Structure 1
Amino acid sequence: MSAGIVWALNKDSLGPWELYVPVKDLLGIYEKLYGREVITENVIVDCSHIQFLEMYGEMLAVSKLYPSYSTKSPFLVEQFQEYFLGGLDDMAFWSTNIYHLTSFMLENGTSDCNLPENPLFIACGGQQNHTQGSKMQKNDFHRNLTTSLTENIDRNINYTERGVFFSVNSWTPDSMSFIYKALERNVRTMFIGGSQLSQKHISSPLASYFLSFPYARLGWAMTSADLNQDGYGDLVVGAPGYSRPGHIHIGRVYLIYGNDLGLPPVDLDLDKEAHRILEGFQPSGRFGSALAVLDFNMDGVPDLAVGAPSVGSEQLTYKGAVYVYFGSKQGRMSSSPNITISCQDIYCNLGWTLLAADVNGDSEPDLVIGSPFAPGGGKQKGIVAAFYSGPSLSDKEKLNVEAANWTVRGEEDFAWFGYSLHGVTVDNRTLLLVGSPTWKNASRLGRLLHIRDEKKSLGRVYGYFPPNGQSWFTIAGDKAMGKLGTSLSSGHVLMNGTLTQVLLVGAPTRDDVSKMAFLTMTLHQGGATRMYALTSDLQPPLLSTFSGDRRFSRFGGVLHLSDLDDDGVDEIMVAAPLRIADVTSGLIGGEDGRVYVYNGKETTLGDMTGKCKSWVTPCPEEKVKCSIKSYTLLGKDP
């Protein structure tokens, strides 16, 4: 029932589990919209009650069902929120869009509107949606669902003059939570010796930069550079989910300037206190999803590139765009984009990832764009394209990715080639690394014969020495659904006393085996990270591995190497954004996330997290220099 958008659920004012549905108002809306009676009061009440029970069931049990669904379909749970076509964010935009269209039709009639069978394709005011697939296939699955369910449940419904209240008893979740907490305490005491936190934990930040608006996704993308040319590093933060009334998910980018003391060491509401704010201007464009800083027009001043991969969502094309803002000699960034880079393919999602790296060998960074969902000659094969920096770009206002200076494409349908990008200098040449986390090992013969024994989402990493478009080497995952190549980073660590240039590759959904005393269990999607030596050899040798210690923790979802203590050796930082302290694997929920920081001087060959002092393996926390812990998700989506 699409009219559910006008429901009001307020746990604070209505009680613990109550919902009010304005039945009379909904009947009036339907009658005014269609000019006749198309639905009865009983149907609204029955359908609303079923949806209320489903919502209550989700609040109560989804965290318990997560392991089952995640194991069977990682894509379904990983992309549930942000998938560009049909994810929760996309549906939120379309719910709002349809609401505005409905209001328009109520006020002005339907004579100026196209009303196809699927309401997603409604267009008014001369607009037309030409996207294929405007017909929705009918089925009878839910035809008798209302009658069968409402006849077999004990309904708690209170009728008012204009609507109904639904409610359920609140003792059930409280009782279950008590049982789970008691179980978790016993298991922790038995195998870990209590719940005391390690002294290496850091849980209090020096400062927090925040927004007052919910769901903005502040921190989805970040980079740093001296944008105002005062000699100090500045911070650039993307918030692709930023919305304001009437403008859903337009996105914002915030600039925070540093000084001789570094970044401001105080809490900041960036909407009020950021030094500069750039805002997207396309409905649901998700401006700020990716960021890169480079001197694109080679005038000696840094420029800022911003990805908006869902531009075109209003027309259901999702072509995406990349906007380049030129810097100035006065240290100010342009307030509007100087260059717009677009894509002609539907579902191109241009601007999902951005990177500044020297592609043509002139020692100047060029703009590299990854579009993992682009067709690429098939279905979501993905493309990576590069535009060379140069003075001639000062006169350009529009560029097309089809005319890029350098382009490579994925090998397989749904390989998501370009999901991650990383550039590093090896032997005075730029090594461009491209992640393809959903690559599978299907052979050409297997594809022709439709053989189903391939391993899906193994993941693969491609290494290029551009402008050569042929990969120099590839690294493939070893376990189905592991998604090797989701994250990439590089740096220098000490290996057996020798300073070694290394590559970190994350496989955050890789399964592993955990041992707890005499018990053995599978850590579904606990995650792993591999460390390779970077040389000019054809195949980088594997040096070390790291593994997570919780199911579904996504260990290795984000990777970074940086010299934090200025000793000439990089620290290894590995994020596990869904890691929980609960050793019963999520019975009581509450992801707190974890970032592990390993000393680059203490790396060893082999399994870094397998040799443990406790009864539990793997033990990623035993060898850390420190770990950063919070009661919100760390290392990924804010």
Structure 2
Amino acid sequence: MRYLRVISIGLGFLLPMVLGCGMTTHEQITQRAISWFVDDGHHDAAVNPASIEHYRSLMTEHWSYVLGGSFFPDWTAALYIRQKGPTFSKKRRERLEAFMFGIISHDVADILWHGHNNKQEGFIRAISLGSMDGHYDAAHSLVDRGAETVLRHGRDANPSLRRWSMPEDDIRAIYQAMGIDLKAKAEGRPLDSLYYCFHRGFVAAQGIELIGSEVFPLYAAQSPVLVEQIENYYRGGVTDMMGWIPHCWKELMRWINTDMELPYGKSFCELVVEEYGDYKDNWAVSYIDAQPPKINSLVSPHNHPVMDTAALSATQEPISMPEVVVTQDEGGITLSVATGPPPASPATAPSPLARRGLVDHIVYGMDCDALTDRYSSVITLSSSVSYAGLGTAVASGRFGGGNQVNLAVSAPFYKTDTVRGAIFIVRDPRQLQGTTQRDIAQAADQTLLGESVAIPVRFGHSLAVLDYNHDGIDDLVVGVPGDGAQQQTYAGKVLVFLGHSGTGLSTEPDYTIQFDASLNHNTQLGEVLRVADLNGDSRLDLLIGAPSYELQANNTCSSSLAQAGAVFGIYSRPQQTPLLTHPDLHIYAHDPSAYANFGKSLTVDTINGQRTLVVGAPGFKSGPNPLAGKIYGFTLSSIAAPTPQFNIVGTSKFQQLGQ
């Protein structure tokens, strides 16, 4: 075993590396995705409960190799493992497989993050088209760099990120088979291409761990959408990537362990990626005749001015970089921070509450206080399931009739056997008095679960309560905006659980609202739910906001408009059909525009004696001001066609009026 000590290079040099590549983002996503790597019931010879547990254990045991692969810029070939793996020792093969799981995580995330599988809807593309005048490169640069700081700002330092490994001999052999010699030293550099790329990535990642939270405000102020939606944006947000990566890991298991072949033009785990007439996802199949690898660009001169003096001056204290230890063992290389406790954050680093408050202050102009500072008795309901999203939506109603008010709390990413999502019903919240903290799964009297699907569909993302069938008992309406995620239609649906006298809610949905193909254009039905009297019968009806709806070309627009948005109305009535495929009301902006997100917020009120529907479009661009926002008012005197009554337009950049 051979040891080498390398002193880290200067901070001003390393930051462009990490912020240009976004590797700590990939590491965080990989780490989260493992918790969702579970058996979804779709079994074959390569994918079954035993094999999934095997690879979970393998990744845990060789975690530093998974992290090294999560940074690595190129797809590695399953074909190499098939051909050479039988001759390897168990340890060598497992390390290579762990590294490859990390690589797949990196590239699946990139497909979604960059919108390679959808030219308008990927997270970076949405930010570029919605708030940066379509300048993709500028948005790409901002999001890759900014995401590092946003995610670092929201968490404590992570000691598990302080060690990376790479199966060096095997990676060199794969590149050699592609006709690429990585041993050549770049001019003026003491290390060859492979060493240089891996070293600079690791050292730069440690830089983000040290100061990422400090420079967060600089990047957060450039895009409110980055801060607000990085976690839950439906095509390329963190939770979307967390859902797809385990699904694609199972496809990788089939590639490694069977003779399965992928015909040209067929996608890898449903992620179709066609660029310049080629399919990027087929690079996983064979490294022969592959496109030039990304490592070439990573070792070329870096042309992006990533972090300027303003960013560096955001750190309030001198930063001391740790020493890095390089270990070579059995054909592998490991980089780790020298032994000792993780480097402490600067003394001025804020507490988690203060960090959350900084986000709210930057995005909303609001301040943040602890509940315990305002109330003498606070009951905390929590979940033991990581990343469940508990509290995404909360509603109350008399689901059993009578006077007892029940509480409904959603957790759209709650995991049982799979990531189904859940809604917890507490029939008498008063029973929780006298306690300070409870696991909601134990406190709940009833739990509604979503379907078992490969890609999470966000069951319970939104909730609403009304008497849907006019029987005098409250019913629970549940939004499932991610329905169709695996098919990449993102049509969404809305489910209605009826309340019953004395017993409460049905255990399965009684009604489904799922529009037909004419209205399914990234609709994400169920993203926003509200109730109001729409038809003047003094009973509550259902309002559905679809801010992501893609408006198709018609008389008002010459081409389709991504995320123009729409609002749909469903009347409550004594007789309802089990499957509703058309709404009673369609409402669109009279001046639709892409990424306006019409329908993001909704309410009905009486204005000047008339029932008025008020709709927010926070993404509306006003003149030179992106995300200025706009509010629309519609009178509901004409049931068939609500009439535009007034508009209020935002006057400044990023005002997001109507949010």
* TM-score, normalised by the number of residues in structure 2: 0.58
Deviations 1:485-544, CA, capped at 9 Å, x for gaps? 11xxxxxxxxxxxxxxxxxxxxxxxxxxxxxxxxxxxxxxxxxxxxxxxxxxxxxxxxxx
1:455 aligns with 2:629: no
Higher RCO (C-alpha under 8 Å, 6+ residues apart): 2
1:464 aligns with 2:617: no
**Following the alignment from structure 1 to structure 2, what is the Cα–Cα distance between the partners of residues 261 and 206?**
14
**Following the alignment from structure 1 to structure 2, what is the Cα–Cα distance between the partners of residues 199 and 67?**
25
Distance 1:229 1:39, change over 3 A: farther
> How far did residue 464 of structure 1 move?
2.5
Distance 1:295 1:64, change over 3 A: same
RMSD value over aligned CA atoms?
4.2
For 1:432, give the aligned amino acid: L
> How far did residue 436 of structure 1 move?
0.8
For 1:168, give the aligned amino acid: V
Aligned to 2:442: 272
Contact 1:234/1:263, CA 8 A, preserved across alignment: no
Contact 1:291/1:354, CA 8 A, preserved across alignment: yes
**Following the alignment from structure 1 to structure 2, what is the Cα–Cα distance between the partners of residues 89 and 39?**
36
Contact 2:399/2:501, CA 8 A, preserved across alignment: no
- SS in structure 2 of the partner of residue 165 of structure 1: strand
Unpaired stretches in structure 2, ≥5 consecutive residues: 1-20, 31-58, 68-154, 184-192, 282-290, 303-321, 355-368, 553-560
Contact 2:210/2:343, CA 8 A, preserved across alignment: no
> How far did residue 232 of structure 1 move?
2.0
1:435 aligns with 2:616: yes
**Following the alignment from structure 1 to structure 2, what is the Cα–Cα distance between the partners of residues 155 and 40?**
26
1:95 aligns with 2:218: no
Contact 2:401/2:500, CA 8 A, preserved across alignment: no
Aligned to 1:312: 484
Aligned to 2:511: 339
Aligned to 1:388: 571
Distance 1:73 1:173, change over 3 A: farther
Distance 1:389 1:110, change over 3 A: same
Aligned to 2:82: none
Aligned to 1:612: none
1:168 aligns with 2:343: no
1:145 aligns with 2:298: yes
Distance 1:48 1:357, change over 3 A: farther
**Following the alignment from structure 2 to structure 1, what is the Cα–Cα distance between the partners of residues 233 and 221?**
18
For 1:357, give the aligned amino acid: A
**Following the alignment from structure 1 to structure 2, what is the Cα–Cα distance between the partners of residues 257 and 175?**
45
Aligned to 1:484: 657
Aligned to 1:524: none
1:355 aligned residue (500, 507, 530): 530
**Following the alignment from structure 2 to structure 1, what is the Cα–Cα distance between the partners of residues 489 and 213?**
33
Aligned to 1:225: 397
Distance 1:48 1:88, change over 3 A: farther
**Following the alignment from structure 1 to structure 2, what is the Cα–Cα distance between the partners of residues 135 and 376?**
29
Contact 2:323/2:337, CA 8 A, preserved across alignment: no
> How far did residue 322 of structure 1 move?
1.1
Contact 1:420/1:435, CA 8 A, preserved across alignment: yes
Deviations 1:255-296, CA, capped at 9 Å, x for gaps? 111267787855221122311111111431011110011111
For 1:225, give the aligned amino acid: G
Distance 1:180 1:273, change over 3 A: closer
**Following the alignment from structure 1 to structure 2, what is the Cα–Cα distance between the partners of residues 329 and 135?**
56
**Following the alignment from structure 1 to structure 2, what is the Cα–Cα distance between the partners of residues 350 and 52?**
42
**Following the alignment from structure 2 to structure 1, what is the Cα–Cα distance between the partners of residues 245 and 479?**
24
For 1:458, give the aligned amino acid: A
1:422 aligns with 2:603: yes
> How far did residue 129 of structure 1 move?
6.4
Distance 1:357 1:482, change over 3 A: same
Contact 2:399/2:500, CA 8 A, preserved across alignment: no
> How far did residue 8 of structure 1 move?
1.8
Distance 1:21 1:258, change over 3 A: same
> How far did residue 104 of structure 1 move?
2.4
For 2:627, give the aligned amino acid: S
> How far did residue 244 of structure 1 move?
4.2
- SS in structure 2 of the partner of residue 178 of structure 1: coil
- SS in structure 2 of the partner of residue 314 of structure 1: coil
**Following the alignment from structure 1 to structure 2, what is the Cα–Cα distance between the partners of residues 97 and 274?**
31
> How far did residue 145 of structure 1 move?
1.8
Contact 1:232/1:260, CA 8 A, preserved across alignment: no
**Following the alignment from structure 2 to structure 1, what is the Cα–Cα distance between the partners of residues 272 and 200?**
35
**Following the alignment from structure 1 to structure 2, what is the Cα–Cα distance between the partners of residues 341 and 130?**
29
Alignment of 1:7-86 (within 5 A): 8=63, 18-21=162-165, 23=167, 49-86=199-236
Aligned to 2:41: none
Contact 2:528/2:544, CA 8 A, preserved across alignment: yes
- SS in structure 2 of the partner of residue 313 of structure 1: coil
Aligned to 2:254: 104
**Following the alignment from structure 2 to structure 1, what is the Cα–Cα distance between the partners of residues 487 and 182?**
35
Contact 1:129/1:315, CA 8 A, preserved across alignment: no
Unpaired stretches in structure 1, ≥5 consecutive residues: 185-196, 443-453, 487-638
Aligned to 2:325: 156
Distance 1:275 1:426, change over 3 A: farther
**Following the alignment from structure 1 to structure 2, what is the Cα–Cα distance between the partners of residues 482 and 420?**
15
1:287 aligned residue (419, 438, 459): 459
Contact 1:218/1:237, CA 8 A, preserved across alignment: yes
For 2:250, give the aligned amino acid: H
**Following the alignment from structure 2 to structure 1, what is the Cα–Cα distance between the partners of residues 375 and 163?**
37
Aligned to 1:177: 346
Distance 1:203 1:65, change over 3 A: farther
For 1:288, give the aligned amino acid: G
> How far did residue 306 of structure 1 move?
0.7
For 2:442, give the aligned amino acid: K
Distance 1:265 1:41, change over 3 A: farther
Aligned to 2:475: 303
Larger strand proportion, structure 1 or 2?
A: 1
> How far did residue 80 of structure 1 move?
1.4
* TM-score, normalised by the number of residues in structure 1: 0.60
> How far did residue 433 of structure 1 move?
2.0
> How far did residue 220 of structure 1 move?
1.1
Contact 2:166/2:334, CA 8 A, preserved across alignment: no
Distance 1:139 1:91, change over 3 A: farther
> How far did residue 146 of structure 1 move?
4.0
**Following the alignment from structure 1 to structure 2, what is the Cα–Cα distance between the partners of residues 144 and 130?**
24
Larger helix proportion, structure 1 or 2?
A: 2
